[in-house]
Amino acid sequence: MTTNSEKPATRPFLKLTHAGAMIALQAAIAKAEELGVPQNITIVDDGGNMLAYIRMDGAKLLSAETSKSKAITAASHRQPTSRLDPSLEVKLAIAAGGRLTNLEGGLPIIIDGVCVGAVGVGSGTGAQDVEVARAALKGLGAEDQMP
C-alpha cells in the first residue's frame, strides 16, 4: 500500500458528488416547501463550482445571485457567511468581483471535518434562509456549525 508520504505531490480528500449535491438540494427544497417560502438554492463544491441550483417557483429573481454568492463565500471561508466581519464586506466584495457576502444563508458542507462544499439560500428572511440551508446539511449528515 502506498502512503501519502510516498506521494508528496498528492493528498487524499473527500469530494462532494453530484449525487450528494442533489440529496442536499432535495432536503433544502422540502424545508422551503414546509416553510411556504420559495427559495433560490445553490450547492457548490469546495472550490465554489456549482453542482446544483434551483429557483423555486415564486422565488425572488435577484436572490438567485445572492444564493450563489452565499454558497461561494461559505465554501471559500469554510464557515457560515453570517460569521464574516461586516466591516470587511465591501473589501471582500471588491476583491472577489462582488462574489463574497456576509448575508445569512450560506453554510459550509463539512463531512468528517472536511469542507466538501457549501449551500447558499436566498429569497426569504435571513433566518428562513439559514433554516433551509441547515436542512440541506441535515440531508447529507453534514456537520452544522450554527448554534
Q: Would you state the pLDDT for residue 12? A: 75
Within 8 A by CB and 6+ apart from 128, the residues are 35, 37, 39
Residue 9 forms part of a structural domain: no
Residue 125 forms part of a structural domain: yes
Residue 21 forms part of a structural domain: yes
* Owning domain of residue 115: 16-140
Residue 88 forms part of a structural domain: yes
**Portion of the chain with pLDDT greater than 90, in percent:** 73
pTM: 0.88
Residue 84 forms part of a structural domain: yes
SS3 at position 59:
coil
Q: Would you state the pLDDT for residue 84? A: 81
Q: List the CATH number of the domain containing 52.
A: 3.30.450.150
What is d(CA 67, CA 56) in angstroms, rounded to the nearest whole number?
12
Taking phi first (over 0 means left), then psi (-120 to 50 degrees means alpha), and beta for anything else, what does residue 56 get? beta
Residue 146 forms part of a structural domain: no
Position with higher pLDDT, 54 vs 98: 54
In total, how many domains does the chain have? 1
Tell me which amino acid residue 102 is: N
Residue 6 forms part of a structural domain: no
Residue 43 forms part of a structural domain: yes
pLDDT tens sequence across 22-80: 999 999 999 999 999 999 999 999 999 999 999 999 999 999 999 999 999 999 999 99
